[in-house]
Amino acid sequence: MALRPCKVIVVGGGVAGLAIALMLEKHGIDYLLLEAYSDIVATVGAGIALSPNGLRILDQLGCYEDILSHSASVDQMHARKPGGEVIWGMEAGLEEGATKRHGYPWVWMDRKSLLEVLYDHIADKSKLLTGKRLVSVTHTETGDVVVTADGSTYAGDIVVGTDGTHSAVRKEIAKRAEEMDLGEDYAEQNKVAASYSCLFGMSDSVPGFPSRCLEFVANEGFSYVLGTGPNDRVYWFIVNKLDQIYYGADIPRFTDEDKEKILQDHMNDQITPDIRLSDLYSRALTTSCTPMAEFVYKNWHLGRMITIGDACHKVLPITAQGGNQAIESAAAVVNGLARALSQDSSLGPLSESEIKSMFDQVQDLRFARMTQIVKQTNQRQQMEAMETPELKHFLLNVYAGLMPGAMWSRWEDWFAAGVSLKRLAIPTRPRTVLFLDEIAPVEANL
C-alpha cells in the first residue's frame, strides 16, 4: 500500500533516536536523524537494563538475538542492608521466572552495545547525520525547517525530539508556544524538580561479585543499584539525596571535583559483606555524575514538533525504566504516524490538524503510564534510601515477607500495559502473563 508522503526529522541519537529511526525504516517512512555529536554510537554512559516491555519491541525490530549475544540475562537478585547483608534474595531462577511469565528476561548490557545493535540494524546509514546540532526550527504552512549549527537546513513534515533532558526541540516548542500566546501552558521547565543525584559507574569484573545479578543496597540518604553484564562487567549507580530540592534552572551541574568528592565520601561503602565501593572503583572503566530530574511534561507537542524519552519524561534509575519507556514512546509515535499515513495516498501530506490529533493520542496513551511509573519509582527510591523511620522499618522488617510475590505483581503491572508496534508481527514467545494488547487489542493503543 502506498503511503501518504511524509518526512520525519529526528533530532538526537541515543537509544530513543536510533530506536525510532529503525522503526521508521521498518515502516517505510522517510526520515533523517540529526545527531549533534560526531559519533552516532557514543562511548559515554555505563550500563543499561532492558526489561520485557522494551525487549518485546526490540524483538519486533529484529534486534533481540543480537541483544542477547551482547548482554547477560539476570538470574539472581538481592536486596541488601547498609553493611551488604542480604535482606531478601533469589540465588537463581529469576531468568526462568521472568521468561516463563513475560516471554523475555531482564538483561544487562553496555549502553554503547545497545546503540551498536540498533545502528547495525538500520539498513540505510545515509539517513543518520552527525555534527548536526539544532539551532532553530522555523514553522511554515507546509512543514517545519530545522537549521543546524553548520548552517544546513532540513525540511520535514514533523520533528521528533529525542535529544535528552536538555532538549533543544523542547526549547523550540516553548519558543513557538510564546509566539502563539500559549507560553504558560509550556513553561514547565522551571517546575522540573531534582531531589537526587546519580553517580554512574562501569567496572571490569570484580572477584566475588555475583554473576548475572540485580543488586539493591539500601542506606540512609542514599542507595545503590548494581548489575553484572557480559564477562561479569559490573554496572553501578549511587543515588544520593541532594541537600535540597532544586527546580528548573537552579538544578546544579556537577563538575569533576563534585564527582570525586562523592566518590571519596562513599569509597568505604559495603556493597556485599566482602566487597566495598573501593573494589569497584579500582577496576572502573568510566564514571559520571549528574543530578536526576524527575518529570513528566503535561504538554509533549506543539504544531509539528513532539518530544519523547528524556526530553519529556524522566525517571530515576532504580526501576530501570528510562530506556524501556523511551522505546515505548517511540513505538507509540510510529504507530500513530503509520496509521495516519496508511490512509488514501491521494490525500497528500498530513495536515496540522491531523498531526495534532495523532500527537494528542500519543500523549494520552503515554502520559498516565509515565506518570504512574515516575511516581512509583520515586516511592521505591525513598524506601531504598530509608528516608523516614517508617520506610526504614518496612524495608528492614517487612519487605522480605512480601517477596517474591510483590515483585512479580509489580512487574506484571509495569509490563502488561506496554506498547507494541501494531504493524509489525510480535514473535511467538510463550508466556503465561499476556500483554494487554495481546488480550484485547484496543485501537486507541496506537
- Kindly report the length of the chain: 446
Helix ranges, 246-307 (H)? 256-266, 277-281
8 Å CB contact between 271 and 246: no
8 Å CB contact between 146 and 176: no
Q: Tell if the pTM clears 0.75, that is, is over it.
A: yes
pLDDT at res. 58: 98
C-alpha cell at 130: 552527525
C-alpha cell at 368: 498516565
Q: What is the 3-state secondary structure (H, E, C) of 45-107?
A: CCEEEECHHHHHHHHHCCCHHHHHHCCEECCEEEEECCCCCEEEEECCCHHHHHHHHHCCCCE
Q: What share of the chain is helix, strand, coil (3-state, %, to 5)?
A: 40, 25, 35
pLDDT tens string, the chain, 446 residues long: the values are 689 999 999 999 999 999 999 999 999 999 999 999 999 987 677 899 999 999 999 999 999 999 999 999 999 999 999 999 999 999 999 999 999 999 999 999 999 999 999 999 999 999 999 999 999 999 998 999 999 999 999 999 999 999 999 999 999 999 999 999 999 999 998 889 999 999 999 999 999 999 999 999 999 999 999 999 999 999 999 999 999 999 999 999 999 999 999 999 999 999 999 999 999 999 999 999 999 999 999 999 999 999 999 999 999 999 999 999 999 999 999 999 999 999 888 889 999 999 999 999 999 999 999 999 999 999 999 999 999 999 999 999 999 999 999 999 999 999 999 999 999 999 999 999 999 999 865 544 45
- CB-side exposure of 344: number of CA atoms within 13 Å? 2
pLDDT at res. 405: 96
252 CB-near residues (< 8 Å, 6+ apart): 246, 291
**β-strands 128-129, 72-73 pairing:** unpaired
In order of 40, 60, 435, the CA distances from 442 in angstroms are 36, 19, 12
What is the CATH code of the structural domain delimited by 7-190+295-439? 3.50.50.60
pLDDT at res. 170: 97
How many angstroms separate the CA atoms of 411 and 199, rounded? Answer: 25
8 Å CB contact between 259 and 199: yes
pLDDT at res. 441: 55
8 Å CB contact between 383 and 219: no
CA angle at 376 for the pair 390 and 408, rounded to the nearest 5°:
95
Q: Where are the domains of the chain?
A: 7-190+295-439
Write down the residue that cell numbers 569497584 correspond to.
280
How many angstroms separate the CA atoms of 72 and 194, rounded? Answer: 31
Question: Other C-beta atoms within 10 Å of 109: how many?
Answer: 24
pLDDT at res. 269: 98
Torsion angle (degrees, nearest 10) of CA 115, 120, 123, 124 = 60
Element (H, E) at 109: strand 107-110
C-alpha cell at 281: 572503583
In order of 42, 108, 136, 335, the CA distances from 26 in angstroms are 23, 26, 29, 12
